[in-house]
Amino acid sequence: MNQTNAGTGTALPDVWALFSVRDLSVIVTGGASGIGLGFAEALAQGGALITILDMNEERITGEVARLQKAGYRVRGTKVDVTDHAALDAAFDAAEAAYGKIDVVFANAGIDPGPGFVAHGPEGVTRNPAGSLESYTDERWQKVIDINLTGVFATVRAAARKMKPRKSGRIIITTSGASRTIAAGIGAAYMAAKAGSAHFMRTAALELAAYNITVNAISPGYIVTNIGGGHAHDPAFQAAFAKTLPMHRVAFPVDLCGAAIFLASKASNYVTGQEIGVDGGLTLGTAD
């Protein structure tokens, strides 16, 4: 039942309906594992029409089959976000399958490799393999091509579909490393994520007049398979948790609330924002 706002005399909307994602057509890049799969599954549970784009065809096949068996409306396509023509074609196919594109998660990214410090049993030590003088052009360019230029190409593809309809939601996965230095991560990763965050604000300003919002989710330390899956080690999790203000690591499910908020009408008047979901990681050390 709608209630009246005492301040304006206007009827309040059904607040819970604001968070509905039912029948929204959603594309998730990097959607076959980790954070992207969490986004895809959460919105599928809410009744959205999901298209998973990923490089790993085997994982796409397995996850799409699993989610379809659970009764969700999910399809998937193998796409490399550095192949911009293939990415555009995948957007065309998603639009043809579902009749529209409402929400796009620009989430695909790769493991950055070592930074200039390493964390081990003996504590924090310098790691020559991750130092600037050891950085190759190839390593730098690969991270930028996927983690920054891939985001640009995904947002561009989304804008081309959303502007004619004057409606849409674009959500970029950035990182706490876009705002603070994580010395155990390679420099290219931090540069790419910082670039993605500022690009998000640029795109948000340009697209606002078309009723298209552009925001970012900025994860902290999330347990995924990235980096060879070492984050699944309970001993590693316990050690890292001691450095976090909330004293625990996070999992993809911890990001789902922010994803649903930004994909739904609940965030109608929110654009150009980077929402940190990091347990206080970027605030500093509390204990």
Give the residue numbers marked as catalytic.
189
Beta bridge partners of 185: 114
Separation of alpha carbons 148 and 26, rounded Å = 21
Q: How far, CA to CA in Å, does 223 sit from each of 81, 117, 271?
A: 23, 20, 28
Angle in degrees, CA 264, 62, 37, rounded to 5: 30
Long-range contacts of range 127-132, CB-CB < 8 Å, 24 or more positions apart?
130/184, 130/186, 132/187
Instruction: Output the six-digit token pair for 52.
Output: 């998973």
- State how far Cα 3 lies from the chain centre: 35
Alpha helices in the chain (DSSP H): 34-45, 57-69, 84-98, 137-144, 150-162, 187-207, 234-241, 256-263
Give the torsion sign (CA, 140, 146, 147, 149): positive
Q: Between 57-69 and 34-45, two packed helices, what is the crossing angle to 10 degrees?
A: 20
**Is the CB of residue 180 less than 8 Å from the CB of residue 220?**
no
